[in-house]
Amino acid sequence: MAILLAFPLLGILVMLQTVVASRLPLLYGTADLVLLALTAWGLQERVETAWIWAFIGGVMVSFVSGLPFFTPLIGYLLVTALTRYLRRRVWQTPILVMFLATFVGTLILHGLSLAALELAGDPYPLGESLRLITLPSALLNLLLALPVYAFINDIARWLYPVEVEI
C-alpha cells in the first residue's frame, strides 16, 4: 500500500515543486518538496519502503529536471542513506534529524548538480552558486521541513498503525 501511495503523492509533490515552488524563489534558490518528503519518510520508525520512495522520487524528478538524468536519482538515494543512518544514531529526536538531514541533503543535491553541470560543460561559479542558490534553497527547505514532517508523519501513522496488545 505504501509503495502505491508513493506514485500519486510524489507525483503531486513533483508538480507542486515544478509549478509553484519554482515560481517562489529566494534569490535564485527554490524549495525541494520531494527532498523534504523523502527525508521525512525515511525518518519514520516503522517505514520499510524509504529506498523505493527515493527511487520513485528520483526518477520522477529526473524526468522533469534539466540536469543529466541520474543526478537527482543519485542525490535522493544518498539523502535517503543519510536519513536512515541518522535515524539509527539519533533515534529519540526525529525533528532534529529532519533539520540536519534537510540541510545536509540540500548541500548534497546541489553539490551533485554543480558537479554534473561541470562535467556536462556548463560550469557555474562555486561561490556564487553557494551564495545565490544553495544557501537560499537550504533556508526555504528548513522553513518547510516541519510542516512536511508533520504531514508525512500523519501519512505514516495511517499506513502503519501502532498495534495495541491486549
Cβ burial, residue 90 (10 Å; 0-12/13-18/19+): middle
pLDDT at 97 over 80: yes
Write down the pLDDT at residue 123: 80
Residue 166 has pLDDT above 70, yes or no: no
- Residue 89: pLDDT band (50, 70, 90) is confident
Contact 38, 80 (CB under 8 A): yes
pLDDT computed for residue 73 by the predictor: 94
Are 30 and 140 within 8 A, CB to CB? yes
pLDDT > 90: what percent of the chain? 65
User: Quick check: is 164 in a domain?
Assistant: no
Structural domain contains residue 109: yes
Which long-range contacts link 26-30 to residues 24+ away (Cβ below 8 Å)?
26/136, 26/137, 26/139, 26/140, 27/132, 27/133, 27/136, 28/132, 28/133, 28/136, 29/132, 29/133, 29/134, 29/135, 29/136, 29/137, 29/138, 29/139, 29/140, 30/137, 30/140
Structural domains counted in the chain: 1
SS3 26: strand
Cell triple for residue 33? Answer: 518538496
pLDDT, the chain, mean: 91
What is the CATH number for 77? 1.10.1760
Residue 146 CB neighbours (<10 A): 15
Query: Among residues 18, 32, 161, which one has the least CA distance to residue 105?
Result: 32
Structural domain span for residue 130? 2-159
Looking at the domain assignment, is residue 129 inside a domain? yes
